[in-house]
Structure 1
Amino acid sequence: MRTSKTFSIQFWMDTKKSKNGEGLIYARINVDQKRLSISLKRKLAMEQWDFKTQKHQGASLTAKEFNRYLDLSKSKLFRCYQELRDNGEEVTSKAIKNLFLNENSNGHTLQDLIDYHSKKIENTHAIGSIRNFKVTEGYIERFLKKKRLVDISLSGLNFEFLCDFENFLNAYYPKGHPKAMSHNTVTKHIQRFRKIVTLAYNLEWIKDDPFRRWKSTFDKVDREFLSDSELSKLATHHFQVDRLDRVRDLFVFSCYTGISYVDIRNLTKKNVWIGDDEGNKWITTFRQKTNTKIKIPLLFRAEQILNKYETHPVTEISGTLLPSITNEKANLYLKEIATEVGIEKNLTFHMARHTFATTVALSNGMPIETVSKILGHSKITTTQIYARVMDHKIKSDMDAVQERLNEKARKLEEEKELMHLREKIIAAEKKNYSHMTKEELLKKLNKIMNEKSD
């Protein structure tokens, strides 16, 4: 069977049939010097077409999008050429054109899926979730570039592709990071990619789910939190620098309420209400991440911090309960705070929620169901990730167990001693009656019976 010796792809504009100054763009494929043009069904103003580079001129968003489409078309044409060769079929310009047009009319690509998914979640997911999906999509794009592809057909998504993508992530060193991604970070990107591919399966864009045999697990990570003494030291420390004092207050407020940083920034006086006749204050708000409503009674330390900033110039201007600062700056200042206070742990703002769950709530007897409700978790298993039993709680519980064991041991010893006394009494009584005759024993028995009846 004859195989092709030469293959090339070029783009050109048909200026002869132009209308209103716009020309139709074609892809010209050449196989063994036999060429054939394919309309890409895209028009462009003639002054915007670069005849030399065969691309849209300029660096505008429109130009980039147009040129990306050209690169995608070129990639598809090359894939059609490779497919014919790999299947042992005759490679001709017409065969490539037929395969290309058939794929374009009936098939969807990975980029089509990503674009569809992005539009689908833009009004249903939180900003942070959308941002995380964008990061994963960026890694998918880098992976395709490494394979020298602009895009692939969804039919090309298979188990091998997933394995190669996972290997790529495991070996990838993100810019500005001292090491490669952790196993859990890689798994999280795969998990997001899986949600995107599942959408394609539900839309019936693909016949089989390439993830059906895929199994992934997260490594268990012990999340850090502040102990009682560390939290007390941090809360009572006097800072000379005002910015550190403010960030400390935000962190401690989160430690005593469990409210995340982004939700603290959105708190206003409308979120504070009197919950009962005794005048106790509560905070009620909706979590930005999950839109879950949370209601939290204010502990004394948290209420103190609110009172501190009630008439503060910063909060009066912003209208918020507490001063506002970016999360990045807050985490940066927390490193300075940890150094000044003498806390050796890697202090991050999210650690405050772990501290609330473990040190403030669970270690002081709050049921995990209540902690879950305060944290705004929809599943108690999420709360269990935060929950850690502290050493002093373990010691206290073990002391209680030891006390119960000691009580049981004391009762057992008393029973043994009582039984031993009974045996001694019985033995002594035997000696007292052993020398008596039958008549004497009967008289003694009658006497005892008479005494009992009286």
Structure 2
Amino acid sequence: MADSFSLKFYLNKNKSRGKDEYKIYGRLIIDRRKSEFATNYYINENGWDVAKGRAKKNMAINDELTEAESEVNRIRRKLLDDGKPVSAKIIIQILKGDRKEKRFLLEYMAEHIEDMRKKGENAENTCDHYQSSYNIYEQFINNIYKNKDYPFNQINLEFIEQYDMYMLTMYRDPNGKKVKRNTINKHHSRLRTMLHKAVREEIISKNPYIHFPLKNTPTTRSFLTEEEINAIRKIDFSNNKTLDQVRDFFLFSCFTSLRYTDAYNLTTNNIIKTDKGKTALYVEESDKTKAPLHIPIISQTQEIIDKYNTHPDREVGGFILPRYSNQKVNDYLKNIAVLANIKKELTHHVARHTFATIALNKGIPLPVVQKILAHKSIRTTQIYAKMLVSTVEKEMEKFDL
């Protein structure tokens, strides 16, 4: 809470208009630090009451000055209630509508996320990821700094290092587990993006991340072999409709490479006939990359499509697959992995990794796989270029003299 607070209006003798007319200024002092602002009014010195800081007879001017005083008090009270820093400079900047110096991280990021959703240029998942990072930053600021928000101009290398330590030692994900370095770096990356944006908008002068390079830990992307896919296909789920449908949802993406959201939103309108009479899935804009998807339908894909011709989701909404939330799909996939005796951690995204890895090992050219996956860069597709032992053995036969 501020130790001292005062607001007085006075005539600025350096700002004159005509004979003996001076501009009315406000002087705000908090904790012996002052900041001043100009009003829109000039008044003759004889018409000004110095002691009261008001015009002697001009009620229109006095009403405006009283309204400005009320606004200053309102801004101060809101800052205090929100647990944000309070100073004469900050209050006057807010009063004048200068957004640069008054900005706070969470306030700024909330506006950024709202703009992302309104513009619709980013995938919904991307917006959700930013919201997830926002929630973590909020926890960090509340737990470490005991505030509801944090001013941009105080974010420095120490703040970033504190955040990194918090993520490594204190933070737990919604399942109560510690998070790994690469996950932490994703949240770092979004914070860095916010600071880059703030630099471009001249809210801050430099990004402290220039002194905090992010280094990822090498990871192995999990995928299934053909044998493991067949093990899942052979499970008898005749007495468990939910697991049967989740199994098909997962396998569908193993055969098409589709991300969860794209598979979830597929309708019969996305099934087209090509010029050569083939059947394919066509999506004008993929959810994440906004790039078009054109994926030929193979027999295993068609079998799943036909299976749900009379499913309520198809009959009512035209959706190709039964619809389950991503969380539910991943929860049920854990059960399916156990029943198929698969020791790997099974999530829906493993299906996309599986498609890419098997496709490359079957000799489908890298540019073709890149096209199906809708990767902008072939380097992204190369991540999946892992050689299965069976492929190495088969290719090695060519060397047999």
Which one of the candidate residues 72, 76, 98 is aligned to 2:85?
76
Q: Distance in 1 between matches of 2:5 and 2:170?
A: 34
**Equivalence for 1:41:** 71
**Equivalence for 2:231:** 233
**Equivalence for 1:35:** none
Q: Distance in 2 between matches of 1:313 and 1:140?
A: 41
TM-score by length of 1: 0.67
Contact 1:121 1:130 in 2 (8 A): yes
Structure with the largest fraction of helix: 1
Q: Displacement, 1:296?
A: 0.7
Q: Distance in 1 between matches of 2:70 and 2:289?
A: 43
TM-aligned CA distance change 1:67 to 1:223, over 3 Å = farther
Equivalent positions of 1:391-402 (< 5 A) are: 391-400=389-398, 402=399
Question: Deviation string for 1:203-249 (max 9, x for gaps)?
Answer: 11112222223311211111111111111121233212111111111
Contact 1:260 1:353 in 2 (8 A): yes
**Equivalence for 1:202:** 200
Contact 1:117 1:199 in 2 (8 A): no
Q: Secondary structure at the match of 1:255?
A: helix
**Equivalence for 1:347:** 346
**Equivalence for 1:166:** 164
TM-aligned CA distance change 1:156 to 1:280, over 3 Å = same
Instruction: Verify: 1:108 aligned to 2:109, yes or no.
Output: no
Q: Secondary structure at the match of 1:386?
A: coil
TM-aligned CA distance change 1:9 to 1:300, over 3 Å = farther
Which moves more between the two structures, 367-376 or 303-312? 303-312
Q: Distance in 2 between matches of 1:357 and 1:182?
A: 25
Q: Secondary structure at the match of 1:212?
A: helix
Question: Deviation string for 1:1-49 (max 9, x for gaps)?
Answer: xxxxx964799xxxxxxxxxxxxxxx99678xxxxxx9572688xxxxx
Question: Deviation string for 1:303-345 (max 9, x for gaps)?
Answer: 1111222233442123111211111111111122222222222
Question: Deviation string for 1:174-230 (max 9, x for gaps)?
Answer: 254343221011111110001000001111111222222331121111111111111
Unaligned runs of 5+ in 2: 7-27, 33-67
- Quick one: which amino acid aligns to residue 381 of structure 1? R
**Equivalence for 1:57:** none
Instruction: Verify: 1:127 aligned to 2:124, yes or no.
Output: yes
Give RMSD over aligned pairs: 2.9
Q: Secondary structure at the match of 2:293?
A: strand
**Equivalence for 1:289:** 288
TM-aligned CA distance change 1:316 to 1:116, over 3 Å = closer
Q: Distance in 2 between matches of 1:76 and 1:180?
A: 32
Q: Secondary structure at the match of 2:208?
A: coil
Contact 1:71 1:150 in 2 (8 A): no
Q: Displacement, 1:137?
A: 1.7
Higher RCO structure, 1 or 2 (CA under 8 Å, sep 6+): 2
TM-score by length of 2: 0.75
Q: Displacement, 1:102?
A: 5.7
Question: Deviation string for 1:31-77 (max 9, x for gaps)?
Answer: 8xxxxxx9572688xxxxxxxxxxxxxxxxxxxx99764334x6423
Q: Displacement, 1:153?
A: 3.0
Contact 1:194 1:211 in 2 (8 A): yes
Question: Deviation string for 1:251-303 (max 9, x for gaps)?
Answer: 111111111121112111211111143x3211101311221101011111111
Q: Distance in 1 between matches of 2:302 and 2:249?
A: 12
Q: Secondary structure at the match of 1:283?
A: strand
TM-aligned CA distance change 1:226 to 1:103, over 3 Å = same
Q: Distance in 1 between matches of 2:115 and 2:372?
A: 30
Equivalent positions of 1:179-218 (< 5 A) are: 179-218=177-216
Contact 1:110 1:153 in 2 (8 A): yes
Unaligned runs of 5+ in 1: 1-5, 12-26, 32-37, 45-64, 81-96, 407-454
TM-aligned CA distance change 1:175 to 1:218, over 3 Å = closer
The structure number with the bigger radius of gyration is 1
Q: Displacement, 1:357?
A: 0.6
**Equivalence for 1:141:** 138
TM-aligned CA distance change 1:66 to 1:297, over 3 Å = farther
Q: Distance in 1 between matches of 2:173 and 2:233?
A: 36
Q: Distance in 2 between matches of 1:110 and 1:30?
A: 21
